[in-house]
Amino acid sequence: MSTPPFRYDGYQIDPARGLLICRYSVGDYRFSERVTVPADPGRWARADAGKAARLVFLLAGVSYYKTAAPPVIDLGDTAVTDSERAFLRSFYLGGLAEFGYRNGLDLSGLRIEGPSRPGGTPPAARPAAQATGPGRPLVPFGGGIDSIVTTEMIRERAEPALFIVSRPGDRFEAIERPAAVTGLPILRAGREIDPQLLRSRDLGFLNGHVPVTGIISAIAVLAATLDGRNAVVMSNEWSASIPTLEVNGSPVNHQYSKSATFEAAFRDVLAGSLGPDFAYFSALRPFSELWVARRFAALTQYHDTFRSCNRAFHIDKSRRLDHWCGRCDKCCFIDLILAPFLPAADLERIFGGHEPLADSDMADTSSGDDGSLADKFRSLLGTTPTSKPFECVGEVGECRAAAVLAAQRPDRAGTKLLQVLAAELDGLPRPSAPAELLRPLGQHFIPDTYAPDDLLV
């Protein structure tokens, strides 16, 4: 018995309530996602807002497709250009590569069927050096070191607002506290996924990671158009483009929708829909996590409020921590990448006395399935058969450089775990020297009017 296709059933805009409703189905299951962006109803009636809402509809479908992952996607009455169809297929295949790998699925035969509309190849997005002036950019803000560094860079050159999306009525302290430190205006959106997704196991749905940053990007573009803004500035760094692992020669990247591949493709889709004068780019694309960490170390006003711990973002509020857990992969990575640039005492204080690198028991397994912290760090450093974690963390070269630099600090001479980890790196290759990782790397789409001094030298 074949699996019925996943269908795009349509979307509706309710300007009076600032509401976009996206509808999808697969077989007998019907799904709806509700996105709210408060704005003057007249703004919602504008052509650019309608075009942006359509892109949200197209990208948000990935969350519901994965419930069954059929070989066919039926766009229903939604017509797309050839380039949009190609982009959407790449978004599904690249963004769901981890989902497919972990569920043992081969999605390579995916077909997207439905009506076409004229458009062909969109006009190329305006080259960075020819971009128009800064205007009023919107910066999606997650409260971590990346979005904080981007915010401080952009505010030196323009008048940004922060963009925060969450479930209606829910706010994360780990985002709100550093957002308050910026003192900048905040544009908010509510994203309410269909409640059936929260019952995936009970309903027999497939489950796994989706390219959520791509969906958030589309919602941010919608919010920007509704507020008369001409740019969305992301905080995706160079290493987000590096696959988490490769399977039979094909990349599997947990951060696909943070990658340069997605950024370039989405820019082209936006150029074809909104025109080349709307800017979408990552301010951190040519920079390593090591570069970002060094910049963040100087932003001391945020050190007491930022928190990138996974357990600060549980959907279940009763399980949400108001402090760093000191045990998850994100805690380990943030500690490691900041260790070369912040005094050991500062990091111990930031982690509330539970700094991962300060762990004294090299074989601690008291956290159950979490395993030892030493093994978590070895996974980041690539010194164990365990693959890099499926998390938004830096690549092996960045982590190795951070460990070496941190171990050389006088105040880290007695940090046993760090010294052991650094010693294990002796003789192992470091793809890039620390000095190289602190300079711009690779290509980017940052307009000159937004570029930091490092790119203008």
> Across the 457 residues of the chain, what is the mean pLDDT of every consecutive 10-residue run?
89 96 97 96 94 98 97 97 96 97 95 88 43 76 96 94 93 94 97 95 94 98 96 96 87 94 97 93 96 97 93 81 90 96 96 88 44 87 82 90 95 94 85 83 91 75
Indicate the DSSP class of residue 356. G
pLDDT tens for residues 92-121? 999 999 999 999 999 999 999 999 998 754
Q: Which two tokens stand for residue 341?
A: 């640039």
At position 121, the amino acid (one-letter code) is: T
- Asked if residue 8 lies in contact with residue 76, where contact means CB atoms within 8 angstroms, the answer is yes
Residue 189, in any domain of the structure: yes
98 and 169 belong to one structural domain: yes
In total, how many domains does the chain have?
A: 2
296 three-class SS:
helix
Q: Which backbone phi and psi does 338 adopt, to 5 degrees? A: -90, -20
- Let me know whether 276 and 309 are in one domain: no
User: In this structure, are 317 and 278 located in the same domain?
Assistant: no
The reply to whether 20 and 99 lie within a common domain is yes
147 and 81 in one domain?
yes
Considering the domain architecture, whether residues 391 and 345 belong to the same structural domain is answered as yes
Both 272 and 365 in one domain: the answer is no
Residue 82 inside a domain? The answer is yes
Domain co-membership, 32 together with 166: yes
Whether 455 is in a domain gets the answer no
Does residue 402 share a domain with residue 278?
A: no
Place of tokens 């497919």: 100
In a domain, 291, yes or no: no
pLDDT of residue 361: 63
Q: Which domain holds residue 62?
A: 6-114+129-282
| pLDDT for position 368 | 37
> Does 245 fall in a domain?
yes
Rounded Cα gap, residues 330 and 22, in angstroms: 32
The pLDDT value recorded for residue 452 is 85
How far is it, in rounded angstroms, from Cα 137 to Cα 139? 7
Q: Is 117 exposed, middle or buried (0-12, 13-18, 19+ CB in 10 A)?
A: exposed
